[in-house]
Amino acid sequence: MKLSKIIFSLFSFFAAQSAIAQKDPLSTEVWAPEPKIISPGKNAGEPPADAIILFNGSNASAWKHNNGDEAKWIVSDNIMTVKPGSSSIITKQKFGDCQLHIEWRTPAEVKGTGQERGNSGIYLMGRYEVQVLDSYNNSTYRNGQAGSIYKQHIPLVNVCRPPGEWQSYDIIFTAPRFSENGRVIEPARFTVLQNGVLIQNNVTVWGTTDHIGSPVYTKHETKESLLLQDHGNPVSYRNIWIREL
C-alpha cells in the first residue's frame, strides 16, 4: 500500500473516532484535579478563608516604613489614616501575583484641587500604582485620576463617590516576568474594579509608574512589598486583605 493511502486511511480512522467522541459527553468531562474548597466572605468585601489580612482595624503590625521603623500612621476606630509627613508604608510580607481588596476614603473636608486633593496611591510590588485621589467633581489629567494606572491607563469610567465616603478597589495583579539578563518576558497586568464597577480591564503595564519620564522596566524580585503612599493628604484605609495567586 502506498504511503499516501496509509496516511489517508489513518486520517479517516482518527476523524471517525473524533466524530464518535463528539457524540459522547463523557469525552469532554474533566474530573481531576478538584479545585480547593475555600469559604467565601459572608458579605461583599469580607475576606475569604485563604486571604492574608493586611489590616483588620486593630493595629498596623503588618506594615512598616522603608527605613524599617514600625508604621506611624494613625489607627483609630478600625481605620488607618495617613499621617502626613511620616512617609509611605510597605507590607512586611512580599507578594507577586495577587488579588487585593482595599477600601479607602478621602477627607470629607475638601482642600486643594487636582492632584492636591485627597491624593495617595496603592503600589503593587512598590512600583506599579493604582491611583487614589478625590476625583469627584475634581478635574486633573485623566491618566492621573482615581482608578488610573498612574500615567499609563485612564479608567474606563469615573465611579468615584463624594469626599468622605468609603470606596473600594478590587485588584487582580499579574507580576512581570524577567529573563536572567533582565529582559521582560511578560509585562505586568492589572484588572481593577472600583465600587464593584470594572475600570481597568486586563491592561498591560509599560513599566514603573513614575511621575516624570516614560515608564521603563528594571528587573526585580518575583515578590515585593505592597506600598501605600503618603502624599501629604490624610487619606484613610480599612479592610485590606490579599490572596496570593
pLDDT of 26:
85
What span, in angstroms and rounded, lies between the C-alpha atoms of 90 and 226? Answer: 5
Number of domains within the chain: 1
pLDDT in tens, 158-188: 999 999 999 999 999 999 999 999 999 999 9
12-16, 34-38, 90-94, 170-174: least confident range:
12-16
Query: Cis ω on the peptide bond leading into residue 84 (within 30° of 0)?
Result: no
Q: Is residue 26 part of a domain?
A: no
Residue 20 belongs to a domain: no
Alpha-carbon span 26 to 65, nearest angstrom: 56
22 band by pLDDT with thresholds 50, 70 and 90: confident
The answer to whether position 6 is within a domain reads no
Q: Which of 37-46, 66-75, 130-139, 198-207 has the lowest mean pLDDT?
A: 37-46
Q: What is the side-by-side strand order in the sheet with 89-95?
A: 63-65, 89-95, 224-228, 120-124, 128-132
- Looking at the domain assignment, is residue 16 inside a domain? no
Among residues 137, 164, 236, 155, the alpha carbon closest in space to that of 197 is found at 155
Report if residue 110 sits inside a domain. yes
Q: Which domain holds residue 78?
A: 33-244
Q: Is residue 9 part of a domain?
A: no
Region 125-153 average pLDDT: 98
Residue 10 lies in a domain: no
Look up the CATH number of the domain holding residue 145: 2.60.120.560
Spatial separation of the C-alpha atoms in residues 43 and 29, rounded to whole Å:
33
Residue 83 included in any domain: yes
- State how far the Cα of 47 lies from the Cα of 51, in Å rounded to an integer: 6
Tens digit of each residue's pLDDT (9 = 90 or more) over 207-244: 999 999 999 999 999 999 999 999 999 999 999 999 99
Query: Does residue 28 register a pLDDT over 90?
Result: no
pLDDT of residue 7: 65
C-alpha to C-alpha distance for 141 and 20, rounded to whole angstroms: 59
DSSP class of residue 42? S
